[in-house]
Structure 1
Amino acid sequence: MGGLLLLVIGLQAVAATDEKIEVVTVASGLEHPWGMAFLPDGRVLITERPGRLRIIEGGRLIPKAVTGLPQIAAVGQGGLLDVAIHPNYLENGWIYLSFSAEGKGGLGTEVVRGRLRGMQLVDVETIFKVEKKSSGGRHFGSRLLFDRKGYLYITSGERGDRPRAQDLDDHAGSVIRLYDDGRTPVDNPYVNRPGTKPEIYSYGHRNPQGMTLHPETGEVWTHEHGPQGGDEINIIEPGRNYGWPVITYGVNYGWGTKIGEGTQKVGMEQPLYYWDPSIAPSGMSFYSGDQFPQWRGNLFVGALKYQLLVRLELDGDRVIKEHRLLKEKLGRIRDVREGHDGYLYLLTDEGNGRLVRLEPSQ
């Protein structure tokens, strides 16, 4: 291991190992924050799972939540989930939100877009709804990402109903690819194929809660929760089947019994990397900034189970070393993003959650 890692939390300093960094609390008092997005003017948008969109401005959390949001069903793991801004936000002002909503048959992930006017979301329109909705409060997925061509990607969990991830006539357990207004791209892999959902870009996913763009290749990378073991990182390619629940490196909870047919099958993708035991990953970002030059090109993943931040060193698309930072120092890490200022920002998933910033120790 490397040298001393100094964590500065309020006025308390605690020691760990690896690089020298400081943790600065930007805002506290957030109720189970889930996603964040940085606006060009320096404000930060933060979602709270119970159904509130919050704004941090000038380093201060505005007490009032944004109004004008759609009806949100905060059930189980569901609620207001991710937030993203349009690549051409300065020109069009679009903000995108994913959330769980009620409908015929139960609950499902939906995505809206709207524009911020003061503390109100206006011009709100629904651009995507998972079909079909179902009962239960698990596995909504729900990360949002724009690629370099302006396509919008949405992750959708299989809602705890495993076979749905292999059903191409069901949005559950898939990565969705859309135009920014919700239309289906004509080159999606299942367009004009009977018995399939044309919005599906890849399938065989369990519950993807991390998604990011590779800073050099522009590839879409995701990670997803496995069961007991088998959390995966994947590079998403059109029409590919990522295996769940036919193949997995995880086992059933409790008894540890086998799931599906094993760990490999022809026609199904192998993960780029996996964890066993599970770390319960959520949030993911490549680092490309200047504040931590030694981290440039590394992949960062938040972890709920062990309350830590994973730093992965890569050689191309191969993980060559894993570092575990901040273990049990901050709580459950729900999201990880690089800010415009080159610092790393983390959200902690707690009743009194925080937005924190990682800075080099002086």
Structure 2
Amino acid sequence: MKRLFPVLFLCLLPLSVAAQSIATSIGTISVEKLAGELKDPWAVAILPKGQFLISEKRGVLLLFDQTGERRRVSGVPKVVSKGQGGLLDVVAARDFATTGTIFMTFAKNQARGVGTTMVSATLDTNRAKLSNVKTLFEMQQGTVGGRHFGSRVVEGRDGFLYVTVGERGDRPSAQDLNTHNGSVVRVARDGRVPASNPFVSTPNAQPEIWSFGHRNPQGAALDSAGLLWVAEHGAKGGDEVNRVKKGANFGWPVISYGEHYSGRKIGEGTSKSGMEQPNFYWDPSIAPSGLMIYSGKMFAEWEGDFFIGSLKFDHIARLDRAGNRLRSGEQIKSRETARVRDVREAPDGSIWFLSVDRRGLFRISR
């Protein structure tokens, strides 16, 4: 069984590998490694008592404890690791300390392709084992290919679960309410469809859909007011940050601030009546991944700011927020921020992130 450097949750011990320094707008901050030798990590879920989970796209879920020991969790559903698909997000339920409930998303084989699926499960941290695995959502129908699964999960203040679903490379389907492609869906913790969902009574619409017209949202988070935001991939340019609204159409592929990789124009332009404008967009694309909206607990200067990993330019993008307006703040960059896949805030206010290319989990602190 592999041992890592000792890690305490709220008071991390110094590692034998010296922490690195990063110059930022608020001065020098420190970044140190918490876990290494990861294989294509996708998400980190922070648990009580100094434990945390890391999902690897190949279908492996790892449990780390406060001593730094890692164990492979058994009972993980069978996943399809293909292209951008595999074992994707993992999130601890708000009541994890009493229920042991986690939520996971992954690419699942279906009769006519592969689709984004979400399950709940009970994690036994003593045995590193999942039980009571239950499917809460499965997109209808998946498609062939390995692109655009979306796949972040957020537990809303309303107690419902919001899941991002990419359009699977089938652009027109993002405007078709008869499919889940290119949507944010909303379901209860037992998989029921809330009666207040916007398209429950719409003929031929998928009742789980909360918003649509998305391309590939791979970041999602709540702000301090409980509002849901997503970060999503554009094509060549046009990566977006959007505040998700009930029943809203976010325009893909009818409107976009990017263009096709061939250089051809996308859709009808950058705006159209009845379609939402992004709160922020990047051109050129940064390939946004995990999104975190910061509380200000350790870094008061950054309260309310957005932190988004870049898979393309190897940094964490910080966006300043004023109301619903976002503007570019800075790029937090070091050798550790190579293909940042996920960004999370720990209970002590430190910022944790996963680097695909550095094969590790890192912690940013004062």
Question: Quick one: which of 129, 133, 136 aligns to 2:138?
Answer: 129
Change (3 A) 1:13 1:198: closer
Identity of aligned residues (%): 45
CA drift of 1:61 comes to: 4.3
Change (3 A) 1:150 1:324: same
Deviations 1:217-241 (A, max 9, x none): 2100001000000000000111100
Shifted more, 258-267 versus 321-330: the winner is 321-330
- Give the counterpart letter for 2:117 in structure 1: E
2:200 matches 1:200: no
**1:9/1:25 contact within 8 Å kept:** no
- Give the counterpart letter for 1:56 in structure 2: F
Question: Quick one: which of 267, 289, 293 aligns to 2:300?
Answer: 293
Q: Distance in 2 between matches of 1:147 and 1:14?
A: 35
Equivalent residue number for residue 317 of structure 1: 324
TM-score by length of 1: 0.93
Q: Distance in 2 between matches of 1:39 and 1:17?
A: 29
Equivalent residue number for residue 46 of structure 1: 54
2:173 matches 1:164: yes
**Residues 1-362 of structure 1 mapped to structure 2, 5 A cutoff:** 10-11=17-18, 13=20, 16-18=23-25, 19-58=27-66, 60-62=68-70, 64-117=71-124, 118-215=127-224, 217-253=225-261, 255-326=262-333, 329-350=336-357, 353-360=359-366
Q: Distance in 2 between matches of 1:278 and 1:61?
A: 38
- Give the counterpart letter for 2:41 in structure 1: P
- Identify unmatched segments of 5+ residues in structure 2: 1-14
**1:105/1:132 contact within 8 Å kept:** yes
Tell me the SS of whatever aligns to 1:60.
Answer: coil
Shifted more, 15-24 versus 184-193: the winner is 15-24
- Give the counterpart letter for 2:271 in structure 1: Q
Tell me the SS of whatever aligns to 1:294.
Answer: helix
- Give the counterpart letter for 1:269 in structure 2: E
Tell me the SS of whatever aligns to 1:126.
Answer: strand
Q: Distance in 2 between matches of 1:248 and 1:269?
A: 10
Deviations 1:107-127 (A, max 9, x none): 011111111122110111111
**1:27/1:61 contact within 8 Å kept:** no
- Give the counterpart letter for 2:255 in structure 1: I
TM-score by length of 2: 0.92
CA drift of 1:85 comes to: 1.7
Deviations 1:287-335 (A, max 9, x none): 1142111111111111000000011111111124421111554310000
Q: Distance in 2 between matches of 1:14 and 1:58?
A: 24
- Give the counterpart letter for 2:130 in structure 1: L
CA drift of 1:9 comes to: 11
Change (3 A) 1:184 1:10: same
For these two proteins, the number of residue pairs brought into alignment is 349
Q: Distance in 2 between matches of 1:328 and 1:204?
A: 35
Q: Distance in 2 between matches of 1:289 and 1:47?
A: 27
- Identify unmatched segments of 5+ residues in structure 1: 1-7
Shifted more, 320-329 versus 95-104: the winner is 320-329
Change (3 A) 1:249 1:327: farther
Q: Distance in 2 between matches of 1:14 and 1:341?
A: 19
Change (3 A) 1:342 1:59: farther
